[in-house]
Amino acid sequence: MLSKNTVKFIKSLHQKKYRTETGKFFVEGEKSVLEVLESGFSIDMILMTESFEQKHFRKLTSFSGQKLILTQNQLEGLGQFQSNDSALAVVQMKPNQAFQPEEGEMILALDEVRDPGNLGTIIRIADWYGIKKLVFSPHTAEFYNPKVIQATMGSFTRVEFFYEDLGKVFSRWNLPVYGAFLGGDNIHSLEKITPGVILMGNESNGISADTAKYVNQKITIPAFGHAESLNVAIATAVICDNFKRLIGK
């Protein structure tokens, strides 16, 4: 049975303050809940419709947390989806722990990308191109924001990430950093690259002056029309595609 305390708790997770205090976030929708079930994330509770339970009975047998059966209307009243006839999971955040790059892998770094939709899309793009590690500046959008989780379409379960001052990170790693600038080297003219870090900047201001000091090579996507700039998520996809091609040479 759905208690008032449970409703209040899940509703509180819509706000960053309470996500941070509790160390919990929520995931909603059939695809994302199934993805998180098979991931390394720890799940506290799954609230689901009867049809979701019947359809995915075998996958749910290994879940030892709390299970609640709700109506579709109850489920939709808890999350942010306008329509949710499947499930919502309450999940534990992972610790903000730095990773160590492996030889030959590309890493994606974001310098104050503020829009949750952009961050979620970039995580999905990273997953598409096989980039498993991301690092974010402290003022980049929150990974566990429901809009970020929704935009990843489940890709949030397949990447590692942490938040830290990027200058400190780059100094520690000693890897080549390729920064996206409007006045950089034409990415189409590059013949080969050494695996390192792709750095993308803020939607309005680009890469900050402090972080730019650590960029080894400025790169740009050539324009063939008259648009002032590209959306940061689209630009990330174009750069990742070109770098994947170059690394494969």
Residue 233 shares a structural domain with residue 140: yes
**Which tens digits make up the pLDDT trace of 25-75?**
999 999 999 999 999 999 999 999 999 999 999 999 989 999 999 999 999
**Beta-carbon contacts of residue 234 (< 8 Å; ≥ 6 apart):** none
* pLDDT tens digit sequence for 8-36: 999 999 999 999 999 999 999 999 999 99
- Tally of structural domains, the chain: 2
Q: What is the rounded distance in angstroms from the CA atom of residue 73 to the CA atom of residue 19?
A: 24
How confident is the model at residue 188, as a pLDDT?
Answer: 95
Average pLDDT in the 100-129 region? Answer: 97
pLDDT score recorded for residue 1: 78
| Residues 60 and 178 reside in one and the same domain | no
Give me the CATH number covering residue 131: 3.40.1280.10
What residues contact 25, with CB distance under 8 A and at least 6 apart? 13, 19, 90, 91, 93, 144, 146, 149
Q: Which domain holds residue 51?
A: 4-92
Question: What does the pLDDT read at residue 247?
Answer: 86
Cα 208–Cα 213–Cα 218 angle in degrees, nearest 5: 80
Residue 217 lies in a domain: yes
Question: 116 and 54 in one domain?
Answer: no
Mean pLDDT value of segment 118-127? 98
pTM of the model: 0.95
Q: Is the pLDDT of residue 201 over 90?
A: yes
Does one domain contain both 152 and 231? yes
Contact 64, 84 (CB under 8 A): no
Between helix 116-128 and helix 232-247 the angle, nearest 10°, is 20
Q: What is the pLDDT of the chain when averaged over all its residues?
A: 95
Tell me the average pLDDT across 73-85.
92
Report the C-alpha dihedral over residues 62, 67, 72, 78, rounded to 10 degrees.
Answer: -120
Asked if 87 and 126 sit in the same domain, the reply is no
